[in-house]
Structures are given as C-alpha cells and as structure tokens.
Structure 1
Amino acid sequence: MSKKCAITGKGPMVGNSVSHANNKTKRRFMPNLRTVRVTLEDGTTRKIRVAASTLRTMKKQSK
C-alpha cells in the first residue's frame, strides 16, 4: 500500500537529518496518514487512507 493521501495525493518528502555537528544524512518525511471510512454516493462504505491535515481541512469546510 502506498504512503499517499487518497484525496490530496500528498506523499513522502525528502530532506536532511542535521546532527548537532552539522552532519547531513538523507531522510524521508512521511505524511500522517489515517484510515477513515467514507460512504460513497451509491451507499457503500469504503476505507481510504487520508492525511490528518486533509481531515482537518474537510472538518473545517463542513462547518
């Protein structure tokens, strides 16, 4: 299963881990994915993986 948000397509980003001695090694920043149940238009439910930031935005827009 891919580490991507099903709605926004947000995926892993690449950056550097920087130590106190300023040594740099590559690392990945993973999205904060949550599995949520979504009811589709035809009445069926489906589990999708959505980023937590996307859930916040969806909750904000539903108000």
Structure 2
Amino acid sequence: YVSGLIHVADLPGDRYFYDKDANLLKGKRTGRVYRLGQDIKIKIMNVLPSERKITLIPC
C-alpha cells in the first residue's frame, strides 16, 4: 500500500474540473468522478530514493 498524489493533468481520457461543493474532480466530457482519498490502480513511473520521491500515474 502506498499513499501518493497524482497530478490532475495525468488523469486519463478527459479534462477534469474541481467541484468545490462536492469536493471531487469530474471529467468535463465523460463525467467520470475522482474523489479525494479514492483508491485507484497506479503505475510507478520513477523512484528517486535520494529525494524520497515516487512518480505515479493512473493505469
């Protein structure tokens, strides 16, 4: 289990906007929803142990 952050620009298949009232990201075209703290499958793209950084992207 890893806790991390994925940049909104890296979310696939759409442009996402933040719905402040519902506290979620919603796809403009698809309507797909991502919620804060939601579990998603990811790929590890890069690991920099010296900087303690892991680059994650969604599958």
TM class, shorter-length: under 0.3
TM-score by length of 1: 0.25
Larger helix fraction of residues: 1
TM-score by length of 2: 0.26
